[in-house]
Amino acid sequence: MKALRKTNPGYNQMRYTNVVTPDLKEDEVKIRVLFTGICGSDIHNFKGEYTKVTPLTLGHEFSGEIVEVGESVERLEVGDIVSSETTFEVCEKCPYCLKEEYNLCSQRKGLGTQIDGSFAEYVIAKASRCHKIPDNITPQVAAMLEPLACCVHAVMEKTAIQSGETIAVFGPGPIGLLMSLVLKTYQVTVILIGITQDKKRLQLASTLGIDQIIDSQTCDLTSKVASLTDNLGVDYVFECSGSPVALRQAFQISKKQGTIIQEGLFAKDMIPIDMSLLIHKEIQYIGSRTQKPSSWLKSLDLLESEKIDLTPLVSAVYPLAEWEQAFQKVMAGDDIKVLLQP
């Protein structure tokens, strides 16, 4: 089968090539990939900033059709349309696994990071990690379930948001927009913050019901947020851009005893933090890592009940063979969600 693989560490080092389809184990399913999304972490991997294993087939956001099931699989059958959690292998014994917090298992191996992923014609997944897609969810939207689950985990499982609160989101990329849509299922005011080069993304955001859209490069952000919050600052900040500048601004616009959730990945591990603001404003700074099974169930409910609609976020679809053009389009920053179709 054809697959897009990271062959070596470093910038690019990607190759669209033929690979052997792995044998199926008894607890696994073979999935024909219908659509697979390009994630920000895939871009970091492309740039050589986030490479764990090589050679490796990248990709972890996808929908597909089951074409083969392992001998012990009972819940799924050939023909089912599914998506899979990124967690492929965990120890099943640690305190986190016992609570199904697989995202925190020290022995966790994930699709597209340590195990061959979905940038291929077929992908192998654990049956226990797969979720059937309801009929009213299209395969394109289903390919965004994984990033949606990451946002659901950050909003619904890492915070205790109350109606009437004001919440800022940094970064109008796919994660920032998904985060904003999840937040809008609460009775809260959402402020989405980007920069001038995000113009097209901010314009789209304005059509999605987000309350306030701010270009932080055309105003004094702290003053602007103060004017929207009776000089108190925001209750929560979701930092989705992975920008050190945005993180600094997050501490500035957070209210006293506010909470900052770090969702975006940084290009470097060590990032300066304004400890004075952290301490004197008693800010809580919380990390949020990917998702867990409960996040997926909540995400499916949001989509099946039509509480949110992700269709407007799909801005382009490319054949997998044209991956270079698709990656360049993502890195240009104008598009929202770019999907690949094997």
Length of the chain as a residue count = 342
24/9 Cα distance (integer angstroms): 28
186: nearest Cα among 291, 300, 308, 313: 308
Residue 134: other Cβ atoms inside 10 A:
13
**Which CATH number describes the domain made up of 2-148+291-341?**
3.90.180.10
In order along its 342 residues, the chain shows pLDDT tens digits of 999 999 999 999 999 999 998 889 999 999 999 999 999 889 989 998 877 789 999 999 999 999 999 999 999 999 999 999 999 999 999 999 999 999 999 999 999 999 999 999 999 999 999 999 999 999 999 999 999 999 999 999 999 999 999 999 999 999 999 999 999 999 999 999 999 999 999 999 999 999 999 999 999 999 999 999 999 999 999 999 999 999 999 999 999 999 999 999 888 888 999 999 999 999 999 999 999 999 999 999 999 999 999 999 999 999 999 999 999 999 988 789 999 999
Q: What is the DSSP letter of 327?
A: H
Strands 284-287, 254-262: pairing is parallel
319/147 Cα distance (integer angstroms): 21
For CA atoms 71, 75, 81, 84, give the dihedral sign: negative
Domain ranges across the chain:
2-148+291-341, 159-287
**Concatenated DSSP letters of 239-265:** E-S--HHHHHHHHHHEEEEEEEEE-SP
CATH topology of domain 159-287: Rossmann fold (3.40.50)
**Concatenated DSSP letters of 80-121:** -EEEE-SEEE--S-STTGGGT-GGG-TT-EEBTTTB--SSBS
Q: What is the pTM assigned to this prediction?
A: 0.95
Q: What is the DSSP letter of 2?
A: E
CB-count burial class (<10 Å; 0-12, 13-18, 19+) for 23:
exposed
For CA atoms 280, 283, 289, 290, give the dihedral sign: negative
Residue 84: other Cβ atoms inside 10 A:
28
